[in-house]
Amino acid sequence: MTANVKTRSKHRMDMKTRRRKIGHVIGRILFYVLCACLAYQLLYPVLYMFSMALRNPSDINDPSIVWIPKNFTLDNFADALKSMNYWKAFSVSITLSIVCGFFDVFSCAMAGYGFARFKFPGKNILFLIVVFTIVVPSQTLILPLYSRWRYASFAGLVKLLTGQESMNLIGTLWPMIIPSALAMGVRSGLYIFIYRQFFKGLPVALEDAAYIDGAGPYRTFFSIMLPNVKNAIITVFLFSFVWNWGEYYLTKQFLGSENRSIMTALSMLRMDLSQVSALAGVQLGTNPEKIVTRMQAGCLLTAAPMLIVFIFTQRFLADSIEHIGIK
């Protein structure tokens, strides 16, 4: 009797263990299937660009071709490079992204440190205004911004140094670089918020110890506080780099036609191709198949640098965003 009870109990435990293992396996399978579906949704645009950019225009209307072209060609890339004047646009965008990213890192760090540690009248109201700038579209401010850079006087400094009432900075990189150096660049409000949260999470004892040793506010900031927010520095630089690379509206308004950014060149690619741009030096007419394949090649050339940056920096970016969430 006792042996039968023990046997039944053991059999029930084995059944529960078996069901638990089966449920675990099914759960893992469903998890991987869900991840694969999400990955496909995210990778579909990139895969589509690769497929279209590498195929011959004659393969566009072939119903037997889904992903892998029958006739591979690099002519799409060659024509897109010529039409976009790609390497000049690339140099403008990469310079703008690196320089603005560098200035955003330090200028926004100083602003965020001020909001986190110093007490002054109207601090909360000013910080609220800074956060509000994140949601204000640049299109609503373009007229005063354009006028400021078209007739830049810098509070009379231009007249004092040159004798002219103002100077025209439209068509140069300065309308993008100067705001970044003053913590007023593209999405600087978000960067200030990130730094403020990091600095508020650091113990006050670090600053007290520095002040006791005779360090002033600036030395404390650069020698003690800034090295302790490396994750914020990495995050802000990567965000600034990517957003300045992808900025279209402001670069189109401020840089002019001579200093076209990569996004401006991409937006004008269809026009250049369909109107037989003299700058491109290629005769494509209005053939829709040729235009589509070259447009996809241009999109891939524009996105490729950011894909490369993400591949090499995703570990740092994920770690930095994780720390931001904890803060």
Q: How confident is the model at residue 103 (pLDDT cuts 50, 70, 90)?
A: very high
Residues 93-111 have a mean pLDDT of 93
Q: How confident is the model at residue 42 (pLDDT cuts 50, 70, 90)?
A: confident
Top pLDDT among 196 and 313 is at 196
> In angstroms, rounded to a whole number, what is the distance separating the alpha carbons of residues 37 and 29?
12
Residues 233-259 have a mean pLDDT of 89
Residues 113-136 have a mean pLDDT of 88
Residues 49-65 have a mean pLDDT of 81
Query: Which pLDDT score, from 0 to 100, does residue 8 have?
Result: 59
Of residues 99, 116, 98, the one with CA closest to residue 193: 116
Query: Which pLDDT score, from 0 to 100, does residue 110 have?
Result: 92
Is the pLDDT at 276 greater than 70, yes or no?
no
Q: Which two three-digit tokens encode residue 277?
A: 């741009």
> In angstroms, rounded to a whole number, what is the distance separating the alpha carbons of residues 146 and 92?
20
Is the pLDDT at 7 greater than 70, yes or no?
no
Is the pLDDT at 98 greater than 60, yes or no?
yes
Is the pLDDT at 31 greater than 60, yes or no?
yes
Portion of the chain with pLDDT greater than 90, in percent: 18
Q: Are 149 and 169 in contact (CB under 8 A)?
A: yes
Is the pLDDT at 39 greater than 60, yes or no?
yes
> Any idea what the Cα angle at residue 18 is, between residues 17 and 24, rounded to 5°?
90
Top pLDDT among 248 and 287 is at 248
pLDDT digits (tens, 9 = 90+) for 184-238: 888 899 999 999 988 888 888 888 888 888 888 888 888 888 888 888 898 899 9
> Any idea what the Cα angle at residue 222 is, between residues 190 and 126, rounded to 5°?
35
> Any idea what the Cα angle at residue 265 is, between residues 276 and 92, rounded to 5°?
135
Query: Which pLDDT score, from 0 to 100, does residue 280 have?
Result: 43
Is the pLDDT at 245 greater than 90, yes or no?
yes
Residues 285-309 have a mean pLDDT of 83
Q: Are 327 and 231 in contact (CB under 8 A)?
A: no
Q: Are 264 and 89 in contact (CB under 8 A)?
A: yes
What residue type is assigned to position 207 of the chain?
A: E
Helix H or strand E segment including 15: helix 2-54
Residues 60-78 have a mean pLDDT of 81
Q: Is the pTM of this model over 0.85?
A: no
How far is C-alpha 262 from the geometric centre of its chain's CA atoms? 14
Residues 245-257 have a mean pLDDT of 88
pLDDT digits (tens, 9 = 90+) for 138-168: 888 888 888 888 888 887 787 778 878 888 8
Query: Which pLDDT score, from 0 to 100, does residue 3 have?
Result: 53
